[in-house]
Chain A
Amino acid sequence: MDISPFFFYLFGGLAILFSLFVVLKKSPVASAFSLVLVFFSFAAIYAVLGAHLIAALQVLVYAGAIMVLFIFVIMLLNQDVPSFDIARTHVVIRAVAVVATVALFGAFVWVFKNSALPAARGGFSASAIEMAGGNTVVVSELMFNQYILPFEVTSILLLAAMVGAVAIAKRQKSSAEVLREAAANQRKQAGRAAVGGAK
């Protein structure tokens, strides 16, 4: 545990650096790749803190699955428009952005100065977790015994979101739209036949 501060600052610094890249890079794909590295740095910080399960899940879910989907969509749209170009933004928007950023930073400082940290620690110290059989065992036992209801409710929420997404993607066309499309198709075919005849 004596080397962890060094790694904490190393990966924390990397996370901040790559977060800046996410915002400042002009190409959307490059931004997305930087975001992957941000997630990876987070995972490294979790691992240094001894939370191996969270680290693995962070890489598996965020870096491995969600970001692949993001990049897939970005590449499919093949956007060449730069996602960020400071010259094109309005002066007012720039001013608002600066003020909002400073205000947010101020809010963070205020919260950390005034909150009662360090908060009371629970029974889950690093050594206690090691005694109970490691992160994975402890987390899964808690999740499937004590917190089974919140866990199930969350999964139902996710399921509802999934069903909603599918419903939006597969939206039924109204009958008027179907008729209009059929008519358009007919006209197109008739036009093609006329052209063919002329040849």
Chain B
Amino acid sequence: MSLFQIIFMIGQILILTLILIHNAPIMAWVERRGAALMQNRLGPNRIGPLGLFQSAADGIKFIFKEDQIPGHVSKFYYVLAPLVSLVPSFLTFAVIPYGSQIDLGGGQILKFQIADLNVGILFTLAIASLGVYGIIMSGWASNSKYAMMGSLRSSSQMISYELSMGLSLVGILMVFSSVKLGDIAAAQGQTLLQLGPIALPKWGIFIQPLGFLIFMTSVFAETNRLPFDLPEGESEIVAGYHLEYGSMKFAILQMAEYNNMLTGSGLLATLYFGGWQMLFPLGQIYSHLALSGMTADWVRVAFEIGSFTVKVLFFMWFFVWVRWTLPRFRYDQLMDLGWKVMLPLSLVNLFITAVMISYGVI
């Protein structure tokens, strides 16, 4: 590894960490403005242009608020819980590729991905499954009935939807025969169908439409977003697992949720929407520019990062969109959907995929 590669690595870790830190305040603003848009009201519009600095004001408030610890909690675990949910939410983004690579020559390759592990997606799944401990711990340490109910709901929900999530992923892994996210994104650059001038790319969603639906629903359930936000269902159990939390600790729990959303969006984009593969006009523009040498590589990567960002932002907006469109499930409906619909469907998907691969259709 040359010095440049090491600096590049540290640089991308720093930049991605900063993005993840700023993700929560920005998404909080998007969510509030989006809610207002859909409910025909204004939303925060007083501080800064379009109320953009509202989140900064909220952040300052969170930091300077009195940091109270209720008397009835189990102190050690109460303080530990927000951190336990925050750390995995940062780690999971490490294996997602947000651009392809640049060959500097002399065996030096710059990868636009923090860690290209050979376990790939399994790393994300493993670390993401640890995030639930933060929620369980916060509910248990709070020593309050509602918080306890919230964390019990959360753990059973996580267990139920992890199954269909993993099984729906197997379809994608079978098609691209790799667990490395970089390989999966690269393989989606091929053309699936040529309809005259329009080339349909070999994106995951065109090969695995059912798998995509199951995976997306499971991501909603795993991130505790509406319509699956039973763990914090305000109208039933007040605020669920973060009922006893205030000031920055509460903000950290929220941050973890938004970071999980970002990772979920990144996974959806990478597995089913071609990852860093260029979006429609960008690819054409790039081939028209007819650049060469180093410039071509950097422009290509810039276009790829742009495409990836657009895809991720779309899914972030999709999370908000769904939240203000669908009502919350009842608890038994949630369990029925997970075990009686999603799980059999993901098995069917797996079977169909296996048959199609063995007959050489895909």
Contact = CB atoms under 8 A, between A and B. Distances in A.
Interface in A55-103: 55-57, 59-60, 63-65, 68-69, 71-72, 75-76
B118 A64 contact: no
A72 B155 contact: yes
Interface in B97-129: 117-120, 122-123, 125-127, 129
A23 B356 CA distance: 51
Given A53-B122, A68-B155, A75-B152, A59 B129 contact: yes
Interface in A11-36: 29-30, 33, 36
Contacts of B133: 33, 36, 68, 71
Contacts of B118: 52-53, 133-137
Contacts of A36: 133
Contacts of A68: 129, 132-133, 136, 155, 158-159
A56 B129 CA distance: 11
B142 to A, nearest CB: 12
A64 B125 CA distance: 9
B168 to A, nearest CB: 16
Contacts of B139: 75
Interface string B316-357: 000000000000000000000000000000000000000000
B179 interface: yes
A65 B151 CA distance: 15
Contact of A72 (B117, B127, B159): B159
B212 interface: no
A29 B140 contact: yes
Contacts of A52: 117-119
A135 B159 contact: no
Contacts of A135: 118-119
Contacts of A64: 125-126, 129-130, 132, 162
B148 interface: yes
Interface centre among B119, B133, B158 (most CB of A within 10 A): B119
A36 B179 CA distance: 25
A56 B126 contact: yes
A57 B123 CA distance: 9
Contacts of B148: 75
Given A33-B137, A52-B117, A59 B152 contact: no
A136 B156 contact: no
Interface centre among B126, B151, B155 (most CB of A within 10 A): B126
A165 to B, nearest CB: 15
Nearest to B124: A56
Interface centre among A64, A65, A136 (most CB of B within 10 A): A64
A136 to B, nearest CB: 5
Interface string A133-146: 11111000000000
Contacts of A133: 118
A137 B179 CA distance: 9
Contacts of B122: 53, 56-57, 60, 136
A64 B123 CA distance: 12
A76 to B, nearest CB: 7
A136 B129 CA distance: 20
21 contacts: A33-B77, A52-B117, A52-B119, A56-B123, A56-B126, A59-B126, A64-B125, A65-B159, A68-B129, A68-B132, A68-B133, A68-B136, A68-B159, A71-B136, A72-B156, A75-B151, A76-B152, A133-B118, A134-B118, A136-B120, A137-B118
**List of 6 A-B pairs having minimum Cβ-Cβ separation, nearest first:** A64-B129, A134-B118, A59-B126, A60-B126, A56-B122, A56-B119
Given A53-B119, A64-B132, A72-B159, 10 more contacts: A53-B118, A56-B126, A57-B122, A57-B126, A59-B130, A63-B129, A63-B130, A75-B148, A76-B152, A135-B118
